Amino acid sequence: MKRINICHLYGNLLNTYGDIGNVMAISHEAHKNGYEVNTKIVTVGDDFNPNDYDFVFFGGGQDYEQSIVQKDLGDKANKLKEFIENDGVLLAICGGYQLLGKYYYDAYNNKIDGLSIFPHYTKNQENSKRFTGPIKIKDSLTGDIYEGFENHGGVTFLSEDQNPFAIVLDGNGNNGLDKTEGFRYKNTIGTYLHGPLLARNEVLCENVFKLIEKNANLSK
Site for ligand GLN, rule CB under 6 A:
16, 60-63, 66, 94-95, 151-154
For ligand GLN, the closer of residues 177 and 203 by Cβ is: 177
94 included as an active-site residue:
yes
Given the residues 7, 94, 120, 152, select the one marked as catalytic: 94
Residues 6+ apart with CB under 8 A from 97: 58, 60, 156, 182, 183, 190, 191, 192
- Percent helix, strand, coil in the chain, to 5, is 35, 30, 35
CB of 52 to ligand GLN, least distance (A): 25
Nearest-angstrom CA–CA distance, 5 and 210: 14
Nearest-CB residue to ligand GLN? Answer: 60
Please tell me whether residue 113 adopts helix, strand or coil conformation: strand
Q: Are 86 and 50 in contact (CB under 8 A)?
A: yes
CB of 43 to ligand GLN, least distance (A): 16
Give me the count of residues in the chain.
Answer: 220
Q: At what angle do helices 202-219 and 20-32 cross, to 10 degrees?
A: 70
For ligand GLN, the closer of residues 120 and 152 by Cβ is: 152
CB of 95 to ligand GLN, least distance (A): 3
For ligand GLN, the closer of residues 62 and 217 by Cβ is: 62
CB of 21 to ligand GLN, least distance (A): 14
205 included as an active-site residue:
no
DSSP class of residue 194? B
For ligand GLN, the closer of residues 73 and 212 by Cβ is: 73
Given the residues 8, 120, 194, 205, select the one marked as catalytic: 194
For the annotated catalytic residues, the residue numbers are: 94, 194
